[in-house]
């Protein structure tokens, strides 16, 4: 998965801490003075440690004065999400269909980019395809995913969700995901349906139909082998120019932006 979000900090809380106990009259053991941390508390502690490590890295990165200094920070200071994910996984595996398992797998899918992310997406597809947290935090970002489990999750959302917005977003995302993998026929079928049936569903600043039409334009006009659309403007000499003036010649187009 092409999204980036780890040196471990603090003490791992995967096991319950040992508590001092007093012997009550009669020799029966009293309950612990403090109840063991719950799985949810452990999850919050581990994720908080990751956030603190990321904040510390960002502070050091900001203080670095040269690119060489910044480059050296990555291997030594950048938090490795996999290490934190491995500490969380036992919490999810103890009860794979629980809200805690959902939170763990959502965190892993959002932060890790390798094998554990694939595993997390698979579990989300199997057990949490219609969960609002998955729809909100995971589904929209899967268009750029490298994981084969991304398609499995998106299709599960489309097939199982009764929420029209969730279903439409998953269909738009899957169409874009397939377009990015040159599966244009399947992508067009999905995107056409979104363009025709989701004009009334707005996400962000535009409707799902408008967003689908933008992707369809790429599929139908900007793919390799297609005729390039006309471009007009001024040359570096300030003279009017059109891309079609150079038809039959090798042309290099350099697009850039500054925000």
- How would you classify the pairing of strands 206-207 and 202-203? antiparallel
Read off the pLDDT of residues 202-212 as tens digits, 9 standing for 90 and up.
998 999 999 99
> What pLDDT score was predicted for residue 210?
97
pLDDT tier for residue 259 given thresholds of 50, 70 and 90: low
For residue 133, being part of any structural domain is answered with yes
Residue 240 lies in a domain: no
Within a domain: 230: no
Query: Does the structure show a pLDDT above 70 at 197?
Result: yes
Same domain, 103 and 174: no
In a shared domain, residues 43 and 124: yes
For residue 98, is it within any domain?
yes
Q: For residues 166 and 131, state if they share a domain.
A: no
65 and 130 within one domain? yes
- CB count in 10 Å sphere of residue 2: 10
Same domain, residue pair 128 and 42: yes
Cα 184 from Cα 181, distance rounded (Å): 8
pLDDT value, residue 224 = 78
Query: Left (φ > 0), alpha (ψ -120 to 50) or beta: where does 236 sit?
Result: alpha
Give residue 193's Cα distance to chain centre. 24
- Cα separation, 182 vs 195, whole angstroms: 20
User: In the structure encoding, which two tokens stand for residue 16, read together?
Assistant: 């319950």
Q: Are residues 136 and 45 part of one domain?
A: yes
Q: Do 98 and 129 lie in a common domain?
A: yes
Residue 108 pLDDT > 60: yes
In whole numbers, what is the pLDDT of the chain averaged over residues? 85
| pLDDT number for residue 228 | 80
Q: Which two tokens stand for residue 59?
A: 């502070």
Q: Are strands 240-242 and 202-203 parallel, antiparallel or unpaired?
A: unpaired
pTM of the model: 0.75
**Which one, of 88, 128, 91, 93, lies nearest residue 111 by Cα?**
88
Question: Same domain, yes or no, for 58 and 116?
Answer: yes
In a domain, 99, yes or no: yes
**Percent of the chain whose pLDDT exceeds 70:** 85
Same domain, 187 and 107: no
Range of the domain at 207: 162-224
What are the distances in angstroms from CA 47 to CA 10, 64, 92, 95, 236? 12, 26, 14, 19, 51
Whether residues 135 and 205 fall in one domain: no
Q: Is residue 48 included in any domain, yes or no?
A: yes
CA distance 36 to 148: 38
- The mean pLDDT of 115-137, rounded to a whole number, is 95
HSE toward the beta carbon, residue 133, CA cutoff 13 A: 14
- Residues 19-39 have pLDDT tens digits of 333 444 444 443 343 334 699
Taking only the tens place, the pLDDT of each residue in 130-177 is: 999 999 999 999 999 989 899 999 999 999 999 999 999 999 999 999
Q: Which of residues 75, 107, 141 is at a domain's end? A: 141
Q: What is the count of structural domains for the chain?
A: 2
pLDDT recorded at residue 19: 35
Residues 111 and 171 in one domain: no
Same domain for 179 and 135, yes or no, is: no
- Residue 18 pLDDT more than 80? no
The contacts of residue 120 (CB under 8 Å, 6+ apart) are 85, 104, 105, 106, 108, 109, 112
């Amino acid at each position: 998965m092409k999204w980036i979000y780890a040196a471990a900090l603090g003490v791992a809380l995967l096991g319950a801490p040992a508590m001092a106990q007093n012997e009550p009259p009669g020799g029966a053991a009293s309950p612990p003075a403090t109840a063991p941390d719950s799985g949810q508390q452990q999850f919050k502690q581990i994720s908080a440690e990751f956030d603190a490590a990321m904040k510390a890295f960002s502070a050091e990165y900001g203080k670095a004065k040269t690119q060489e200094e910044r480059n050296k920070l990555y291997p030594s200071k950048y938090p490795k999400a996999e290490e934190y994910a491995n500490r969380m996984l036992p919490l999810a595996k103890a009860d794979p269909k629980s809200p805690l398992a959902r939170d763990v797998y959502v965190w892993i899918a959002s932060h890790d980019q390798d094998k554990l992310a694939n595993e997390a997406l698979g579990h989300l597809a199997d057990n949490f395809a219609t969960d609002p947290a998955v729809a909100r935090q995971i589904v929209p970002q899967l268009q750029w995913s490298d994981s084969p489990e991304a398609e499995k999750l998106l299709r599960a959302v489309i097939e199982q969700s009764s929420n029209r917005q969730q279903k439409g977003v998953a269909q738009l995302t899957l169409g874009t995901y397939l377009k990015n993998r040159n599966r244009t026929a399947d992508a067009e079928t999905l995107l056409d349906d979104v363009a025709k049936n989701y004009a009334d569903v707005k996400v962000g600043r535009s409707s799902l139909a408008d967003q689908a039409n933008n992707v369809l334009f790429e599929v139908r006009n900007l793919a390799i082998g297609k005729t390039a659309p006309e471009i007009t403007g001024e040359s570096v000499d300030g003279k009017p120019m059109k891309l079609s003036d150079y038809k039959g010649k090798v042309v290099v187009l350099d697009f850039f932006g500054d925000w």
